[in-house]
Amino acid sequence: MKVGIYCDSGINGGHEEMLKRFMLALVASAQFDTLHILVPHANEALFRYVSELSAAHPKVKVIGLSYTAESIRGNVFALLRMVRSTAASLRALRLDKLVIAQGTIASGLAGLFAARYARTVAVSYLPLVDDAPVNAGRAEKIKWLVKRVLYRVPNEYITLNEHLRGKLKKLAPGAGAMILENYVDDRFSHSTLTRQGARATLGLPDDGTTIIAHIGRLNFQQKRQDFLMQAIERHADAFRRTLVLIVGEGPDDARLRALIAANPALSACVRMVGPQKDVLPYIVAADTLVLPSAYEGVPLVMIEAVLAQRPIVVSRVSGLDSYLPDALLFPAQDHDAFVARIFAARDLPLAKLTSEFRRRFSREAFDAQAQNVLLQADAPRSAGAQVVPKHSDVLAK
């Protein structure tokens, strides 16, 4: 089987990390003869990774893209040119399928349209599925109508869980939708690093100070670091002996720094540490992690935290209640419940939940699913996909 993977993102983030693991699973399978990977030269980290993969595995071929999704965004003529040139490459390759990494249905469009134009089976690897806007204005309604059309373009979908699969089946009833759950490096569950050792390594206090960590892209629209700041402001007394670490980078870095600098309560307890190559020490050093997102796929940091036996408090969105118990969830707009969960989570026993995550998000489970989603696309459910429970009740057992 000849398979292609297309990613035109200029970002090397969580979705791209899972794409790399998907590549490795396909390389390891004898059922895939050739793997053609199309990525931008401008995404240096991702291009370097696939180039090294190609050097190590003869079945991997790399095709450098001259553009990123960001570089042609809003330019219809540039998009059409890239669709034509990419489609020409696809026709020459004669692939059985092209997997297109789409963070949302509106991303990776050059690859998606090129696949359809070249009559190559288009498989969207899509972690985020939109909801219809509520009380939206005219512009938002038009955007939604366009997205509804876009959801009908892929022949097949690979998504992250049963919740997202159900949403896709409603938006694109004619497309196959298969589940490929994420996996996380074993070191998160087998590390010998202790909380005390992690704090010493990072130069963090180990004097009874509660340490809370937010790890993720600095993006208020999705990750809502601004919501976290509002919660701290409203409950300044609760955070008096607390250090809140903000780990990551993103478009709202400057806005977040300005918020912290302008407010004494935030300045006293919030520390921005920037992007980190290795987040494990920050997870282990923390008493509690937080993820108050407006929407999510299946966040890697959630899995990493639980595997490291650290509680993570997340907003009840996007079907995340199928992974975590009530004690780690809060209503997305409720600052009070958010803060209460943060400080109560420190004493939560996690052994059973960690054990479940080790089984569910193992590399072995991922590799089996990764191969099956492409080989058994027409089945109503991939043979390797797990049935996801409607709610995680591990801690209630």
Residue-range domains of the chain with CATH: 2-183+362-375 (3.40.50.2000), 187-356 (3.40.50.2000)
Q: How far apart are CA 262 and CA 171, in angstroms?
A: 44
pLDDT in tens, the chain (397 residues): 999 999 999 998 888 999 999 999 999 999 999 999 999 999 999 999 999 999 999 999 999 999 999 999 999 999 999 999 999 999 999 999 999 999 999 999 999 999 999 999 999 999 989 988 888 889 999 999 999 999 999 999 999 999 999 999 999 999 999 999 988 888 898 899 999 999 999 999 999 999 999 999 999 999 999 999 999 999 999 999 999 999 999 999 999 999 999 999 999 999 999 999 999 999 999 999 999 999 998 899 999 999 999 999 999 998 899 999 999 999 999 999 999 999 999 999 999 999 999 988 988 889 989 988 988 654 433 333 343 334 444 444 3
pLDDT on residue 379: 40
pLDDT on residue 390: 43
